[in-house]
Amino acid sequence: MKSDAVKCGMQQAPHRSLFNALGFTEEEMQKPMVGIVSSYNEIVPGHMNLDKIVNAVKLGVAEAGGVPVVFPAIAVCDGIAMGHVGMKYSLVTRDLIADSTECMALAHQFDALVMVPNCDKNVPGLLMAAARINVPTVFVSGGPMLAGHVKGQKRSLSSMFEAVGSYAAGTMSEEDVKEFEHKVCPTCGSCSGMYTANSMNCLTEALGMGLPGNGTIPAVYSDRIKLAKHAGMAVMDMLKKNIRPRDIMTKEAVINALTVDMALGCSTNSMLHLPAIAHEIGFDFDIAYANGISEKTPNLCHLAPAGPTYMEDLNEAGGVYAVIAELIEKGLIDTSCMTVTGKTIGENAQGAVNLNEEVIRPLSNPYSETGGLAVLKGNLAPDGSVVKRSAVVPEMMVHEGPARVFECEEDAIDAIKGGKINPGDVVVIRYEGPKGGPGMREMLNPTSAIAGMGLGSSVALITDGRFSGASRGASIGHVSPEAAVGGPIALVKEGDIISIDIPNMKLDVKVSDEELNERKKNWTPKEPAVTSGYLARYRELVTSGNRGAILEVPRN
């Protein structure tokens, strides 16, 4: 056992004295030591129930013959961090989580791990850590929130942000906003639409690192507790069979996950996190892969914010494996990929049935023949940009309009809510990228304000920042290279005509190469927004959005 390094032999007598201080029995010293990485805290609604999940995992591990030992991981609530300086500290936690978990697991020589995440950055952060540590590991999330109900309709957090925009437009009263405020988030869990947290928990199943149901069983269902117990048992079985994360998270598994992403219509943030996970297994993931996979993968689901269905509906319809079964039928999934069940993804999918063709469209009736995400390139984004095309209205799939340029998110929000943005405009928000922010803030406030003001079918938004999974509309993010390094988005001027062609994967500013080159000569870097603390260090190490905003040591 790996933990023998801290438990066995005369040299380890001091170590054993510390285990005695922890209350370990002689019997426990002979058993595998399983680390349970708990993301529990009391500030994130998706994490407030993780203490119960962790306790269930501990029971499963102990019942299967292991010794469970809990240690923590941090997590930020993106909703609470949204729209202010706090959002600069969201994406950056992904790498803190990966680094700190690696440190804890290897410092204490755990034999196996169970990761208990739920929200946006700690799911990919822990997947990155799992790949590095490479001991048998199972993921079990806290589960999604149930949808809220307002005036007889299901609603979610994105409805809340859009309500604020509607209030600014004068189309919703303060009393109506108050009703949304009290009803859209009715339970614990990750927010109820196909936002980033639920996207990543579903993709954890597709990667093979979570048991079936990990992404969709609601947080408040007792089945979630049962799943956690089975996760504890499963990791002990993996330990016996020596199945490790790098046996599961292969290049083929990442491509499977991207394929499922296209069918589900996941958050654009998956195009930050899948490259970062792939990087940890040595797979150089080019985001342009998305277009090739999208061209042959039908979009089968329109969960909120793209449509009227929610995670609870996907769960009742058969969950992620019902979607995978549809894709297997079309030959789009590598069924040989290993999973944490000890079986292949193809074996896991046997018997999975689509129980609601309104929630999971069959192959014969997809929402579109192409997938939910697209990567756009052109003279405005030479290295790429990302749009959730499944959440774009048909009339905005091709659009040209004048650029309305803002140097930060706050200025754009003031203009939108102040009625200064007109139908046809293209809002450009720059210096919000990984380096420029620093931290690559999500732009849910401006996208929701655009939708709430009734401009969602006539105004586009382009940024070197990123979007919440709750954003909808012609919202194009991850524009690379970013403004902070002199990318073309830094050279756009007020009134320049921006051309968006999502079907043909193009994003251009209608300015000649000669003019752009002249502007580049006169461009001067903007002073860093942050010069001290973790964000300053992050800015020095982070790469561009098209590379997943991974961290690299600068080369001389």
**CB of 344 closer than 8 Å to CB of 336:** yes
Short-list 120, 119, 140, CA closest to 130: 140
Q: Is 155 helix (H, G, I), strand (E, B) or coil?
A: strand
> Cis peptide before 481, with omega less than 30 degrees from 0?
yes
Structure tokens at 9: 């032999």
Q: Which two tokens stand for residue 370?
A: 């192409």
Query: Helix/strand/coil (H, E, C) string of 177-221?
Result: HHHHHHHCCCCCCECCCCCHHHHHHHHHHHHCCECCCCCCCCCCC
What does the DSSP 8-state code read for residue 149?
Answer: E
Q: Are 232 and 58 in contact (CB under 8 A)?
A: yes
- 305 cis-preceded (ω within 30 degrees of 0): yes
Which SS3 state, helix, strand or coil, does residue 482 take?
coil
Q: Please state whether the peptide bond connecting residue 525 to the residue before it is cis, i.e. omega within 30 degrees of 0.
A: no
Residue in 175, 231, 212, 222 with CA at minimum distance from that of residue 59: 231
Print the SS3 string covering 340-361: CCCCEHHHHHCCCCCCCCCCCC
Of residues 256, 40, 15, 38, the one with CA closest to residue 139: 38
Distant-in-sequence, close-in-space partners of 303: CB < 8 Å, separation ≥ 6: 193, 194, 264, 265, 309, 310, 311, 313, 314
The token pair at 429 is: 């928000």
- Residue 468: active-site member: yes
**How many CB atoms are closer than 10 A to CB 288?**
13
Transcribe 217-254 into DSSP letters: S-TTSHHHHHHHHHHHHHHHHHHHHT--HHHHS-HHHH
Q: How far is CA 489 from the centre of its chain?
A: 24
Contact 137, 111 (CB under 8 A): no
**Integer Cα distance of 308 and 136 in angstroms:** 38
What is the spatial order of strands in the sheet that 112-116 belongs to? 67-72, 33-38, 112-116, 137-139
Active-site annotation holder among 156, 166, 468, 471: 468
Give the H/E segment covering residue 293.
helix 289-296
Alpha-carbon span 258 to 127, nearest angstrom: 15
User: Position of tokens 């009227």?
Assistant: 308
In DSSP terms, 113 is beta-bridged to 35, 137
Two tokens at 440? 């690559």
CA atoms within 13 A on the CB side of 119: 31
Contact between residue 157 and residue 79 where contact means Cβ atoms under 8 Å apart: yes
**What tokens appear for 402 in the block?**
């004048």
> At 379, is the secondary structure helix, strand, or coil?
coil
Active-site residue numbers? 468
